[in-house]
């Protein structure tokens, strides 16, 4: 069977075919309109996301700058820690010297 009619189609069959075809085309057009509306809304949503997104290049630049600043802060902290240790040592030596001076003025002798 080839799908062809062995007889001519009637006017009623032709009208029914035309009605069904018109209805199918309207349904297809409605579906295309719905898809286009969805796509147009999607474009706006994507544009909003892109506006809030940081590029990889900008992120890498920020990360490099942040790494440099953290390194500088660590160096400053190391210098501060070293200065504090030196200050503590000097303060301890000063207090120790003061105690020895007071003891010496009181006539107390330490050692041999």
4 or 88, higher pLDDT: 88
Structure tokens at 95: 């207090």
2 or 18, higher pLDDT: 18
Domain map (residue ranges) of the chain: 9-53
pLDDT at 1: 45
Residues of the chain with pLDDT > 70, as a percent, come to 94
pLDDT at 103: 87
pLDDT at 2: 53
Query: 7-43 b/e with 16+ CB inside 10 Å = b?
Result: eeeeeeeeeeeeeeeeeeeeeeeeeeeeeeeeeeeee
Rounded to two decimals, the pTM is 0.40
pLDDT at 16: 93
Span 54-94, pLDDT tens digits = 899 999 999 999 999 999 999 988 888 888 888 888 889 88
């Amino acid at each position: 069977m080839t799908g062809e009619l062995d007889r001519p189609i009637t006017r009623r069959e032709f009208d029914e075919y035309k009605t069904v075809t018109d209805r199918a085309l309207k349904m297809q057009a409605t579906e295309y309109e719905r898809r286009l509306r969805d796509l147009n809304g999607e474009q706006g949503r994507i544009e909003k996301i892109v506006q809030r997104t940081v590029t990889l290049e900008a992120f890498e630049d920020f990360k490099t700058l942040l790494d440099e600043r953290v390194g500088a802060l660590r160096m400053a902290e190391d210098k501060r820690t070293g200065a504090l240790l030196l200050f503590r040592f000097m303060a301890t030596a000063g207090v120790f010297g003061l105690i020895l001076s007071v003891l010496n003025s009181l006539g107390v002798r330490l050692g041999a």
